[in-house]
Amino acid sequence: MKASPTTELTTVCACGRVEIVATGRPILTAACYCDDCREGSGRIEARPQAPRVREPDGSTAYILFRKDRVACRRGQDLLKAEKLKATSATNRMVATCCNSAMTLAFDRGPHWTSLFRSRIPDAPPIEMRNFTKFKPDDVVLPNDVPSYHTFPLSFVGRLLAARVAMLFGP
């Protein structure tokens, strides 16, 4: 499975004050059903006038990019981290001007940043569904892309390949 050949994706908050751009080929596009993603997206959607974050089946879809290829063009001061717990390593970055979910990143460690696919009208299609063991019982998964109970080796392999590529330059 190869990622989309996209050279630049731009995500803009609902009111247009925050803009984030990602360049180069995405690592992958995936829908996650894990408890943390569903809870985090639900919390953001519960904010006043917040736009939709989750897919119709309750998953949260992301487009993963190398961290060195994601930058905020405008509105950095309007971004605020939403953590499920104070000790969480993940930060769901929300545009405080309009409560739009923008990115998911980590305090330390991982070399990628995930853009919320729901914020990108011309987003590449979902390539896989992860952590489906957490999906609600009433959700029937379509068979349009592979679905995995956890992270598949192909997911991990693509993350590792992106990390190696970062070591050797742009």
Residue 87 lies in a domain: yes
pLDDT in tens, 66-78: 898 999 999 999 9
pTM, entire model: 0.87
Burial class (CB within 10 angstroms; exposed 0-12, middle 13-18, buried 19+) of 11? buried
Residue 98 lies in a domain: yes
Residue 14 lies in a domain: yes
Span 13-18, mean pLDDT? 97
Residue 17 lies in a domain: yes
| Structure tokens given for 9 | 């994706």
Residue 1 pLDDT > 50, yes or no?
no
pLDDT band, very low/low/confident/very high, at 5 (cuts 50, 70, 90): low
Span 31-58, mean pLDDT? 94
Residue 163 pLDDT > 90, yes or no?
no
Residue 2 lies in a domain: no
| Structure tokens given for 21 | 């751009």
Stretch among 21-25, 46-50, 124-128, 149-153 having the lowest mean pLDDT: 149-153
Give residue 14's identity as a one-letter amino acid code: A
Residues in the chain: 170
State how far the Cα of 21 lies from the Cα of 87, in Å rounded to an integer: 28
What pLDDT sits at residue 23? 93
CA angle (114 as vertex; 45, 18 as ends), nearest 5: 65
Residue 3 lies in a domain: no
A 10 A CB-CB count for 2 gives 8
Q: CATH code at 12?
A: 3.90.1590.10
Residue 1 lies in a domain: no
| Structure tokens given for 128 | 């896989």
pLDDT in tens, 97-155: 999 999 998 887 778 899 999 999 889 999 999 999 888 888 888 889 988 888 777 87
Residue 29 lies in a domain: yes
Nearest partner of 94 among 81, 76, 84, judged by Cα: 81
Domain carrying residue 26: 8-135+143-165
State how far the Cα of 127 lies from the Cα of 149, in Å rounded to an integer: 15
| Structure tokens given for 43 | 């919390």
Percentage of the chain modeled with pLDDT above 70: 95
Query: Domain total for the chain?
Result: 1
Note the Cα 55 to chain centre separation in Å.
12
State how far the Cα of 114 lies from the Cα of 35, in Å rounded to an integer: 17
